[in-house]
Amino acid sequence: MPVERRRYPVAAEPLDEPRFDVATLDRDPSWKLRAPGSLLPERVRLAEWAAEQTDAVASYRHGAVDLPGVDSLADEIREQLDDGFGVAWVTGIPVEGDRETASLLYLAVGAALGPVMETYGRLYDVVDRGESYQKNAIPVSQTRESTGMHTDSSRLDNVPDYVGLLCQRSARQGGGSRISSAAQAHESLQRLDSASLECLYRDYVRDVVTPGADRDPEKILENRFPIFQNQDGLTLRYMRYWIETGHEITGVPILEEERTAMDALDRELAREEHMFRFDLSAGDMLWVANRKVAHDRDAYTEDPAHPRWLLRQWVRRAKS
């Protein structure tokens, strides 16, 4: 299918963007937050409110319950996402006992950050459903597989600013989290392989698997945009598998130099000194700025009696 591939101007170095590598995150603990003790009584308050609702998750809006501890924690998270490294790891969320109320407490944190997107539901269960994303058009989050470093949402007009995860139950083995800075990878490519970086500023077709998406090739062809873009700051939008299937479905060839460029990006995002690894335990939250930080998880194995269970939120930045 003939199509004109647009090209976008490459951001000049040095970038005026926060960035991190493994040494930076080890050295600076500001991105590691501890949930305040006030969340325990606020969880009780939420449970009392939820008992009066037909569907508490659907009904909850920021301010429905007075939760100053939640609001304060959300302010700390937002500061890290917008002005810090683009990542916040929160420990100590009370999840033991009534996990439904723990889920609602997590929703309250997201709603305090900004409008919660409902593409997959306000709270989305990240659990293995026994299928393969390579055989069925399903999100990778419904599998136990690893996909490589990526950002969430391959859909042009439906992208979260913040992605959150709450760990309700960790895997028996594996499932560790990985994060990598878009600006750090960009800087390395500018220095080591500027030709590949230029290729990443071309638009690429993206397959779409979000609910309600029209997967007709003509519609998918409209769903194209660059991997890196410099518009109101550097942004990264990347999941290689959905780029490759999008081009396959529409018949638009990926040039060899573009595959080489994606190989280079994959290497930089996953470089040992760039990619920070850690394990989420029950009661941990991870929040990332979705267009600033790439993330992934290790493949994992289950305890069938107690399967791995994370909850995801997609949140838009609140309008100032």
pLDDT above 90: residue 195: yes
The pLDDT value recorded for residue 253 is 96
- Cα separation, 88 vs 92, in Å, equals 13
pLDDT above 90: residue 4: no
Query: Which carries the bigger pLDDT value, residue 150 or residue 13?
Result: 150
pLDDT above 80: residue 283: yes
Token digits for 128? 């293995």
The pLDDT value recorded for residue 145 is 65
Question: What percent of the chain is modeled with pLDDT above 70?
Answer: 90
Domain range 22-298+307-315, CATH class: alpha beta
Token digits for 79? 């500061």
- pLDDT, tens digit, 9 for 90 and up, residues 214-244: 788 999 999 999 999 998 899 999 999 999 9
pTM: 0.92
- pLDDT, tens digit, 9 for 90 and up, residues 152-176: 999 999 999 999 999 988 766 666 8
- DSSP character string of 99-158: HHHHHHHHHHHHHHHSPBP-BTBSSEEE---S--TTTSS--GGGSS----SB-S---TT-
